[in-house]
Structure 1
Amino acid sequence: MFKNVVLSDGTLNEQEILKSEPIYQGMNGRFVERFYLTPTRSYIFKPLTHFSQSGKEVWIHEHVLQEFPAVYPKIMAHSTSDVPERNWIILEDLGSIKHVFEEKLIMGLVKLVSAWHSLSNSKLQNAGFKGPKPYIEEISASLSCNKQEVMSTDWGLDLPQSVINTVLNQIECYTFHEKKVISHGDLHVGNYGYAGNKIVVLDWEHAHFNSPYWDLYHLLDISHPDFPKNINIELRKLAIEFYLEESNSSAESAHRDTFYQGYLLFAAAFSIWMLLLIKEDLKREEARWSHEQLNRQLQETKSSLRQCAKELERINLNNKVVIQ
């Protein structure tokens, strides 16, 4: 069906298709496109230009996603080449995706996340794949190495500096969740949404084994320049509690509290690390995103950090925990 649809240089063959339209521009600078073979039959063309990406998404589909509910687009065809620019995949077209951040969708996604976290997959575990960002242990170590600089930075959080210092001290001393689970890897708003009334999850090329907190943080708290969102304390706590219920991990109150506190520390550490990255992006003359987008992302990340710090302060006071 797709013979001759893609040229040898890895671009769509305009002579073989009815029309095409760009959907979004990837980090590689090339566009993911919807193309039509007939007026009613369309597919998604996704160019792959990084060696780290080449073949990985196809591998994930063949060895991991077969066990999952059908919430992802199927790969219809693909190529593999030693030349990065010539690699591509063609996916089924699920239609227009509505990317939103709302409670109903979030709770549906939490249910799905809990389900795939419960699966085991030795092939993925042994593949050694990593996510697009450092592990939380690396982030925590980086914050620890730069502790004085981080502590002396005015984050504009409308919180006493002592609260942030306490959070940093807790992060430094904390041992994060040792359990590793199948993680989507990049579960921000742009990679999930509604196709009609159906929840869909896109772009699985970053799937790997990681902490349960990884997917939850990307779903709930990570900010993205292209997809504005707002999280609040109530929704975050509700989502974590629902995750534990779906994971059959909520029998003991102490476990729920420990998991929630661990998530807050994970989110706080990741958010501080994100703030440092965003500030560096704002200094660049030729950033991928506009200053308006980056400043909005900065404010969203500050808001998440502020909320997590306040919750940690409340927990510390309730437990009468004093960390020097």
Structure 2
Amino acid sequence: MELPNNLVQANGALNEKLILKKEILYKGMNGRFVERFYLTPETSYIFKPLTNNGQLGKEVWVYEHILPHFPAIFPKIIAYSIDKCTELNWMILEDLGQLSHEFNEDIVLEVIKWAAWWHSLPVEQLGVLPNKGLKPRIEEIVSEVIVKKDEVYRLLSSLNMERKFVDDIFDKLSDWQLSKLQVLTHGDLHTGNYAVAGNKLKVLDWEHAHLNSPHWDLYHLIDMSHPLFPKKITSSLRETILETYLNQVTFEYDRALFFKEYFLVAAVFSIWMLLLIQKDLAGNGGKWSVEQLYTQLEETVSSLQQCAAALLL
């Protein structure tokens, strides 16, 4: 079905006169809503305005320059607008139907195989890639955690984290050099950004794709907690995911070193996340409920303890 020319008005909003019905899917960081809308009872699309003002034009750029190299594991863009005025930026995407966001072994192992595939793409053939996504790079996170060392010790002590684990993490960070390996990363590969639709895996929201360490996507998939998508990770499942990943990638690596590096990246990233969660809790939750944040806190502490323990082995 061809979209009406005036479906999106000059102010960047959907033309309500042409829409049979719509439903909100989620609220972006800037307060704008991603919605499913119907033109007929059987014909629906996804309307996605710019949900993070700092990402202006980036998702369309990824669709035009990177995703043409991919098989159909992402929703297609039907139409879009890019404008200096943030409110006039929008995309209309194909509707994949009901999405199931789950963190379970079968789905995660399928996601990790695809991540290994796009991590193995020759980055020199993809053109000039952004070198930063939504969050600071790992090197910046490490620096911030080191600067806040005293605060980290107080926080982790209040969370009953054994001091030997914290000491070991900071000892390793003092002379740590992250591997120089850089790959194409999705940038925000948490549970809400992959889903099963009609028995097929789809990876969503590619606006944060950039060049980074492979551990970036791995941490987001395995150990990154999210207020809206609670999950449980165990040491054995983490090892299975990492083993599956290493069996799929085409780049060279030292297997033992790769594991150790992941555990350290995950530990310091989890510490950084705990600082953010505590800040949100001090602000009475912000955009998340206090209950959601406490669940996220527990998950992050658990991941930190498991990865810190693995570093001592």
- Whether the TM-score (by the shorter chain) exceeds 0.5 is yes
Displacement after TM superposition at 1:126 (Å): 2.3
The question of whether the paired residues in 2 share the 8 Å contact of 1:125 and 1:209 is answered with no
Displacement after TM superposition at 1:156 (Å): 5.0
Partner of 2:281: 282
SS at match of 1:292: helix
SS at match of 1:234: helix
Over residues 243-286 of structure 1, what are the superposed CA-to-partner deviations in whole Å (9 max), with x where a residue is unaligned? 11101468x8xx11110000000000000000001000001146
Structure 2 CA distance for aligned equivalents of residues 160 and 194 of structure 1? 39
Residues 1-324 of structure 1 correspond to what in structure 2 (within 5 A)?
Answer: 1-2=2-3, 3-48=5-50, 50-122=52-124, 126-156=128-158, 158-248=160-250, 255-285=254-284, 287-314=286-313
Structure 2 CA distance for aligned equivalents of residues 246 and 157 of structure 1? 37
Displacement after TM superposition at 1:54 (Å): 2.1
Gaps of 5+ in 1: 315-324
The question of whether the paired residues in 1 share the 8 Å contact of 2:123 and 2:183 is answered with no
Quick one: percent identity of the two aligned structures?
A: 50
When normalised by structure 2's length, the TM-score is 0.95
SS at match of 1:23: strand
Displacement after TM superposition at 1:68 (Å): 1.0
Distance 1:267 1:210, change over 3 A: same
Structure 2 CA distance for aligned equivalents of residues 74 and 311 of structure 1? 41
When normalised by structure 1's length, the TM-score is 0.91
Distance 1:289 1:123, change over 3 A: farther
Structure 2 CA distance for aligned equivalents of residues 73 and 241 of structure 1? 29
Structure 1 CA distance for aligned equivalents of residues 248 and 51 of structure 2? 38
The question of whether the paired residues in 2 share the 8 Å contact of 1:64 and 1:121 is answered with no
The question of whether the paired residues in 1 share the 8 Å contact of 2:192 and 2:229 is answered with yes
Gaps of 5+ in 2: none
Structure 1 CA distance for aligned equivalents of residues 162 and 143 of structure 2? 24
Over residues 168-220 of structure 1, what are the superposed CA-to-partner deviations in whole Å (9 max), with x where a residue is unaligned? 21123211121110000000000001002101100000000000000000000
Displacement after TM superposition at 1:52 (Å): 2.9
Letter in 2 for 1:270: F
SS at match of 2:128: helix
